[in-house]
C-alpha cells in the first residue's frame, strides 16, 4: 500500500475526513525526496496548479504528525513521510550530516530505558524523539 493510501485509511479510521488540503499535503510529502518545509509544500502544490495557504499547511502537518504519518526532522527543519507506517513504538531518525540521508527506526528497549529514566524523575513520558546526527555508511 502506498503512503498516501495508508494515510487515508488511518485518517478515516480515526474519524477524520480526507479533505483536499489533507490530500494535497500527503501527495506533496510523498513526492519529496528530502524533508520539506511548509513553504516547500506550498510550492509543490502550486506547481500542480493548486493553492494552499501556510496556516492550512501547518494545521494539516500538525494533524499528520500527531497520527505518526509524518514526522518533523528537527535537525533539518522539515517534514518527511513516515517510512515505518504501522510499526508501533516511537519513530526515531539517524540523519547523515553530509548527504542528508535519513534512516528511521524504532527500538523497544530504548523506549523502556528512556521511560525508566523519566519515571525516576517523576515524569510520565508518552513519546520519545531521537535524532542521531553523524555519517551514513556511504559517507563514512
Which phi-psi region, left, alpha or beta, contains residue 95 (left: φ > 0; alpha: ψ -120 to 50)? Answer: beta
The reply on whether position 81 binds Zn ion by CB under 5 A is no
The reply on whether position 98 binds Zn ion by CB under 5 A is yes
How far is the C-alpha of 55 from the C-alpha of 88, rounded, in Å?
A: 30
Nearer to Zn ion, 52 or 102 (CB): 102
CA dihedral over 44, 45, 51, 54, signed as positive or negative: negative
Q: How many helices (H) and strands (E) does the chain have?
A: 5, 5
Nearer to Zn ion, 17 or 138 (CB): 138
- Of 84, 105, 118, 130, which one interacts with Zn ion (CB under 5 A)? 84
The distance of closest approach from Cβ of residue 48 to Zn ion in the complex, given in angstroms and rounded to an integer, is 25
- Of 1, 30, 34, 99, which one interacts with Zn ion (CB under 5 A)? 99
Torsion of CA 68, 112, 105, 10, to 10 degrees: -20
- Of 32, 118, 128, 130, which one interacts with Zn ion (CB under 5 A)? 128
Residues in contact with Zn ion by CB under 5 A are 82, 84, 90-91, 96, 98-99, 101, 111, 128, 136, 139
Amino acid at each position: 500500500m502506498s503512503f498516501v493510501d495508508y494515510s487515508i485509511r488511518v485518517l478515516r479510521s480515526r474519524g477524520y475526513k480526507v479533505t483536499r488540503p489533507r490530500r494535497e499535503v500527503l501527495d506533496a510529502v510523498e513526492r519529496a525526496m528530502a524533508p520539506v518545509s511548509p513553504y516547500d509544500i506550498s510550492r509543490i502544490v502550486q506547481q500542480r496548479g493548486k493553492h494552499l495557504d501556510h496556516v492550512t499547511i501547518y494545521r494539516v502537518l500538525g494533524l499528520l504528525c500527531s497520527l505518526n504519518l509524518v514526522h518533523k526532522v528537527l535537525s533539518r527543519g522539515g517534514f518527511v513521510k513516515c517510512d515505518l507506517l504501522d510499526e508501533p513504538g516511537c519513530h526515531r531518525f539517524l540523519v547523515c550530516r553530509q548527504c542528508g540521508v535519513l534512516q528511521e527506526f524504532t527500538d523497544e528497549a530504548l523506549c523502556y530505558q528512556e521511560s525508566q529514566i523519566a519515571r525516576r524523575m517523576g515524569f510520565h513520558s508518552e513519546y520519545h524523539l531521537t535524532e542521531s546526527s553523524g555519517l551514513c555508511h556511504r559517507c563514512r
